[in-house]
Amino acid sequence: MMKKLSLIVLLLAIPQFARADSQWVLAQSTLTYHVTHPLHEVDGVSKAAKGKGVCHAGQCDFLIAAPVKSFDSGDSNRDLHMLQVTRGGEFPMVVVRTQLPEQDSASADIKADLTIQFAGQTVHYNQVSFHAAKQGNEVHITGTIPATVSDFKIDPPKLLTIPIKNEIPVKVDMAWRQQ
């Protein structure tokens, strides 16, 4: 009888535990990758990222995603080539996940462990630094993800048979709104 009662109490409690305490929504974002080539310095920009953060028991799970084809480097031919080398036809999204303590939203400096799915690979970046600034009802986050083409097993694109540099840092500029 006690077992049954405990089970009923537990079942009733599960939805309450599963309920999020608060949510964050990505209000605005600019993601910029930088490619270096002896003849070129190229920036590819996407403003199409969407993101959500769900906080529960003091921890927030964040998910940010952007279509690979949404990055615009100012030249459609280069963008299509980037889409091809990053296998964007098969893996059309770049997805970033991270988990942060809820109290970090009030900090000016955030160190985040990122899991990035891109080009069919999943790569972890530990302790990536971001700067956070509260602006009205939004938190403005800026930082750079130290990505490289070799991390994602991407064959470096070549121009005039010369490959690009391995480093492709991704600048992040996001505004998050708590709901």
Partner 1 sequence: MNSLAAKAVLCTIPLLSSISISLRAQADSSLSGTITGASGKPLASARVSVKNLTTGQSTTAETSATGTYYLSGLAPGDYEISVAALGFDVKTGRMTLAAGGAQTFNATLTASLTPGQETEPSLSDLGFSPSQTKGTPEYQALLDRRSHMLQIHQRLGLITTAPLIATLFTSPGAKGHHGMPGPASGRELHAALGATTAGLYFSSAYFAIRAPKIPGTQAHGPIRVHKALAWIHGPGMILTPILGGIAYSQLSNGERVHGIAKYHSDVAAVTAAAYGAAIISVSIKF
- Compute the least distance from the CB of residue 96 to partner 1, in Å: 11
| Cβ–Cβ < 8 Å for 142, 175 | no
Distance in angstroms (rounded) separating the CA atoms of residues 66 and 94: 5
Phi-psi domain of 76 (left: phi exceeds 0; alpha: psi -120 through 50; beta: other): alpha
Whichever of 75 and 146 has its CB closer to partner 1, that residue is 75
- Longest Cα–Cα distance in the chain: 78
Token pair 């130290």 in the structure block, residue: 146
From residue 170, alpha-carbon distances to 31, 33, 137, 147 in Å are 7, 4, 26, 7
Chain residues binding partner 1 by CB under 8 A are 18-23, 39-42, 50-56, 59, 61-63, 65, 67, 73-78, 80-81, 83-85, 87-93, 95, 97, 137, 159-161, 177-179
Of 4 and 136, the one with the shorter C-beta distance to partner 1 is 136
Minimum Å gap between C-beta 143 and partner 1 is: 20
- In whole angstroms, the minimum distance from the beta carbon of 148 to partner 1 comes to 21
Of the two residues 46 and 73, which places its CB atom closer to partner 1 in the complex? 73
* Least distance (Å) between residue 99 CB and partner 1: 9
